[in-house]
Structure 1
């Protein structure tokens, strides 16, 4: 004789299953953030073209174009490397990829549940005590949906704030370029001033030698 409870199915756990781990591979929003940053950095570098750079320093561009182009390339390379490193540090520090992926999941989840709720509203209203277990379970999801919406709004605001910080970082990099260009202009002015002074000294020294030579010639003729 078999026991009556020997073939009972296992009772499911009342606790919800754990959430799947959030992938670190950039999703739609994280990929779009990287794309926006790359486009902004590319526009900044294009604005600092060699033609614009050389127009600020016509004398070196005319006499030492190769050296000036080397300075321009180093400046752009340093700007690009610093901007990318700082962007990657911000992404890692804020765990932006995981947060944006979670935001994608919440948006998709909220959209699917909103569609389900819209379909439910079209049905005829039924008294709660006549609903089945599954319908009651769905009805209890409303507070969770409201909480998810609040979380979604908060994370959207955080994303907007991070985008504003990135824009400020790009602006600071542009100001750094202008400062470097200004310092380079001062150095070039000093070099040109030194060259002018050297040329003037050489001319005055030549006149002094001519005067000494003429004085010696006059003395030689007087001795005769």
Structure 2
């Protein structure tokens, strides 16, 4: 008996792609790691010792309060940096795109290994008509994702370099401030010495005038 013409044939359309995971994959995790390292280096550059050296008077008289301000400043800096980084990742959908890049690279690597095992010298490409619109779109998007990742890595590296230069600038300015304070203390010492000498001279001058006046009075009485 012939099969019914109503029997459905398997659809040639490919199955829908699996949803992209929101959990950071290898590249997204590495991006988080690079950011955390750069932020940690920035916070280490703003150590309490460097911070206190810019405020010697509060550091000498109210060190506990100054340290509390320093901790709040670092905490606010860390919180703001992480919030801005998270906002950028969300706006650019960086985690999803990097995860998709991981998937595409993994599939390409698997095909290459499969071709090597089969002894094929040329790549076996999937027929375009068997791919869904999303797969075609992502295949064209992969070079852009790679370029975006390279650009982001360059920006992170540039930020790290700028942070190191900023730390060096802060250190140089701290040394200049210490030199100016040392010169100011020397000038204050000279002024205090000059004031002491002027006071001593004034006292001796008054004593000399008193002695002359007493001598004139004695001479005047003797003359009488």
- The TM-score bracket by the shorter chain reads 0.5 to 0.7
* Alpha carbons 2:54, 2:174 under 8 Å: kept: no
* TM-superposed deviation, 1:34: 1.7
* TM-superposed deviation, 1:160: 1.9
Q: 1:165 to 1:157 in 2, by over 3 A?
A: same
Question: Can you give the 5+ residue segments of structure 2 that lack an aligned partner in the other structure?
Answer: 215-224
Aligned length: 201
Provide Cα deviations, 1:129-162, integer angstroms capped at 9, x if missing partner.
xxxxxxxxxx771557999777545533332222
Structure-2 residue corresponding to 1:134: none
- What TM-score do you get using the length of structure 2 for normalisation? 0.64
**Is 1:23 the equivalent of 2:16?**
no
- Residue of 145, 152, 160 corresponding to 1:162: 152
Q: How many Å separate the matches in 2 of 1:49 and 1:23?
A: 38
**Is 1:223 the equivalent of 2:213?**
yes
Q: How many Å separate the matches in 2 of 1:58 and 1:172?
A: 21
Question: Can you give the 5+ residue segments of structure 1 that lack an aligned partner in the other structure?
Answer: 123-138
Q: How many Å separate the matches in 2 of 1:183 and 1:58?
A: 9
* Alpha carbons 2:25, 2:102 under 8 Å: kept: yes
* Alpha carbons 1:83, 1:170 under 8 Å: kept: no
**Is 1:192 the equivalent of 2:182?**
yes
Q: How many Å separate the matches in 2 of 1:179 and 1:221?
A: 63
**Is 1:95 the equivalent of 2:80?**
no
Q: 1:90 to 1:103 in 2, by over 3 A?
A: same
Structure-1 residue corresponding to 2:217: none
- What TM-score do you get using the length of structure 1 for normalisation? 0.64
